[in-house]
Amino acid sequence: MGPFRVALSGDFRKADGSPTFPDFDLTPLAQAKDVEMVFLDNASPIRGDQLEDFDALILLAHRFDATSVPKSGRLAVVARFGVGYDTVDVPACTANDIALAITPDGVRRPVAVSILTFILALTGKMMVKDKLARQGGPGFAARGQHMGVGLVGKTLGSLGVGNIGAEMFRLAKPFDMNFIAHDPFADKRVAAELGIELVSLEELFRRADILCVNCPLTPETHHIVNAERLALMKPTAYLINTARGPIVDQKALTRVLQENRIAGAGLDVFEQEPTDPNDQLLRLDNLIAAPHALCWTDQCFAGNGAADIRAVLDVMKGQVPRGVVNREVLETDGFKAKLAAFGTRFG
């Protein structure tokens, strides 16, 4: 019998063959017994013929759709580098007995820290104060016109209380804020432990002084932050989105910021990525923007990579990996047969 073959999407390497992200340590995979690791050619969506002879795929940013599924039926797991999976056709995976695994442990703390970075930068007026400092005397003379906002007693709201949302609240505890959230799937025990009041969607927008988007992009959450709900927010409130751009109606947010109907926004994600440099949104002083990379740190990428390798090696041993999105696939005869065969060969 041959080795357990693992493919890595081509975007893990630069054109010169060097690693795109050196902090992704492939050593545990390269040194694992009975494992063969291969980088695919760059293609997005990934083509099914590229994966015919592979048991596992570690996927960065390339798309995996129905045409990516190999006809051989051999592929057992797609390990996504991160927690977003809007680039993956989940039903196609399930229909073909392929588990989709993500890396919640790798991104939980880094993304929560990036949210706090936005909170402190926005309420502390960091961007305008940086400009003032560079102006010398005139800037220092104008500093009293740009007073920051204290956090004690303010209301921190979250649209979603999953892995990242809960971690955000944990990290925000020392600021003595009030916590509210809307999440129809929230774990009430976790919410109670963290002191989070679960509220309706409209109440979340009305009450939050800082409203953070921490939900996945689904058909139900697409443009859930729209003109109608933005109109409910306080003029002193801030909106932060580090989840996925299309959750927020960007045109509606642009109008709200242009008209100063909320105090500001922090965006790490956008409806169009890369952004259009001429987008009116990017010209606004009450916006702080990052290129879908605010959580990108050495620790984040090391954690994501380690989680993906662990998921792949778990499948190789015939074990269910952590972070499976399409849990229903675990009950299919086809996936069970794949795991059993791997367990017999490599377990």
306-339 pLDDT, tens digit per residue, is 999 999 999 999 999 999 999 999 999 999 999 9
Active site residue 202: no
Find the largest Cα–Cα distance for the chain: 76
Give the pLDDT confidence score for residue 94 in this predicted structure.
98
Tokens 């009430």 belong to residue: 188
Please say if the pLDDT value at position 260 is more than 90.
yes
Active site residue 292: yes
Sequence-distant (6+) residues with CB within 8 A of 211 are 157, 158, 159, 204, 205, 233, 237, 238, 239, 240
Nearest CA-CA partner of 200 in 218, 220, 217, 186? 186
Q: Which of 170, 273, 283, 328 is catalytic?
A: 273
- Tens digit of pLDDT for each residue in 22-67? 999 999 999 999 999 999 999 999 999 999 999 999 999 999 999 9
For 163-196, give the DSSP string.
HHHHHHHHHHGGG--EEEEE-TT--HHHHHHHTE
Q: Which of 5, 229, 292, 310 is catalytic?
A: 292
CB-based contact 37:29 (threshold 8 Å): yes
- Tens digit of pLDDT for each residue in 99-152? 999 999 899 999 999 999 999 999 999 999 999 999 999 999 999 999 999 999
What is the dihedral sign for C-alpha 133, 135, 141, 143? negative
Please say if the pLDDT value at position 208 is more than 90.
yes
Give the pLDDT confidence score for residue 63 in this predicted structure.
97
pTM (2 d.p.): 0.90
Give the pLDDT confidence score for residue 71 in this predicted structure.
97
pLDDT grade for 278, boundaries at 50, 70 and 90: very high
Please say if the pLDDT value at position 83 is more than 80.
yes
CB-based contact 299:110 (threshold 8 Å): yes
- Report the SS3 class of residue 248: strand
Please give the average per-residue pLDDT across 175-185, as a whole number. 97
Please say if the pLDDT value at position 1 is more than 90.
no
CB-based contact 125:148 (threshold 8 Å): yes
Please say if the pLDDT value at position 174 is more than 90.
yes
For 292-325, give the DSSP string.
S-TT--HHHHHHHHHHHHHHHHHHHTT-PPTTBS
Give the pLDDT confidence score for residue 37 in this predicted structure.
97
What's the rounded Cα separation, in Å, for the pair 132 and 124? 13
Please give the average per-residue pLDDT across 264-275, as a whole number. 97
Q: Which of 80, 108, 207, 244 is catalytic?
A: 244
pLDDT grade for 89, boundaries at 50, 70 and 90: very high
Buried b (16+ CB within 10 A) or exposed e, 116-143: ebbbebbbbbebbeeebeeeeeebeeee
Q: Which domains does the chain have, with CATH numbers?
A: 4-102+298-346 (3.40.50.720), 106-289 (3.40.50.720)
Tokens of 36: 């063969």
Please give the average per-residue pLDDT across 18-22, as a whole number. 95
Buried b (16+ CB within 10 A) or exposed e, 4-43: bbbbbbbbbbeeeeeeebeebebeebeebeebbbebbeee
What's the rounded Cα separation, in Å, for the pair 147 and 129? 10
- Report the SS3 class of residue 69: coil
Active site residue 327: no
Average pLDDT of the chain is 97
pLDDT grade for 347, boundaries at 50, 70 and 90: confident
Please give the average per-residue pLDDT across 142-163, as a whole number. 97
